[in-house]
Amino acid sequence: MPEKLLYEGKAKKLFTTEDPGLLRVEYKDDATAFNGKKFDRLEGKGQLNNAISIFFFEYLGKNQIPSHFVRRISETEQLVRSVQIVPLEVVVRNVAAGSLSKRIGWDEGRELPYPIVEFYYKDDDLGDPLLAEEHIRLLELTTEEEMQELKKMGLAVNKVLRPLLEQKNIRLIDFKLEFGLDQNGGLLLADEISPDTCRFWDADTGNKMDKDRFRRDLGGVTEAYREIYQRLTGDNL
């Protein structure tokens, strides 16, 4: 059976494969912000996000956090398990930044006394709004058990990645995760983990090394992503 395009998002394309339980993911060079209102194409971004995501998926897998990742296919592609995506973005925050700073009036860069977990509704038409747990129950977006498991897994990812990044002189400010249910109903980490979905700051200078460079017109987007990859792996792309 020939492959067919299953879904095209802002940063990736998903294709079917001959195995109905597996999908091919192609990372694009597209950069978007503000729900697609800001757009550019940055050469090399897809390759970097693919490589960085693979690094994180493999590292988390070694630390007993399962994901949909199966293997690398090419510079911009990976093979993943097919999952039913839970319609919630799980955001873990260590430091006040972005929308949290605006919402609670804390200066960017202020350390939170403990990591917090937020849920956002995956709905572009609504602008991916922040949801209280009562809203999730009202909308029946997931079960009570799964909601608590999402929170637990988000904090587990944070516990693994934060010390790793500290060793690389990178401050993990916050990050967004997505999860999916496999054929047995188990939760797997899905989507990607990259500078598109995380806030990374240089631990010494506070320089932003993530998508905020695009959002805020700071320039040097792919250079910052390349620096993240180099610090993580010791290699250059």
Residue 3 tokens read as: 């492959």
Question: pLDDT tens digits for 111-144?
Answer: 999 999 999 999 989 999 999 999 999 999 999 9
Residue 208 tokens read as: 């932003």
pTM: 0.96
- Check the CA dihedral 12-15-88-125 and report its sign: positive
How is 1-13 classified by DSSP, letter by letter?
----EEEE-SSEE
Question: pLDDT tens digits for 4-44?
Answer: 999 999 999 999 999 999 999 999 999 998 877 889 999 99
Confidence band, pLDDT 50/70/90 cuts, at residue 2: confident
Q: How many CB atoms lie within 10 A of CB 179?
A: 24
Q: What is the pLDDT of residue 1?
A: 59
**Domains contained in the chain, CATH given:** 5-81 (3.30.200.20), 84-219 (3.30.470.20)
How is 137-193 classified by DSSP, letter by letter?
HHHT-S-HHHHHHHHHHHHHHHHHHHHHHHHTTEEEEEEEEEEEE-TTS-EEEES--
**What is the three-class DSSP state of 95?**
strand
Q: Are strands 5-8 and 84-85 parallel, antiparallel or unpaired?
A: unpaired
- List all residues 6 or more positions away from 28 whose beta carbon is below 8 Å from its beta carbon: 11, 12, 13, 45, 46, 76
CB 201 within 8 A of CB 59: no
Is it the case that residue 227 has pLDDT exceeding 90?
A: yes
Q: What is the pLDDT of residue 236?
A: 86
Q: What is the DSSP letter of 107?
A: P
| Side chain identity at residue 190, one-letter code | A
Stretch 63-67: mean pLDDT, rounded? 98
Stretch 230-235: mean pLDDT, rounded? 96
Stretch 179-191: mean pLDDT, rounded? 96
Is it the case that residue 169 has pLDDT exceeding 90?
A: yes
Q: ∠ at Cα 234 (229, 236), nearest 5°?
A: 60
Q: What is the pLDDT of residue 37?
A: 80
Q: How far apart are CA 172 and CA 112, in angstroms?
A: 12
Residue 29 tokens read as: 């060079």
Q: ∠ at Cα 76 (235, 236), nearest 5°?
A: 15
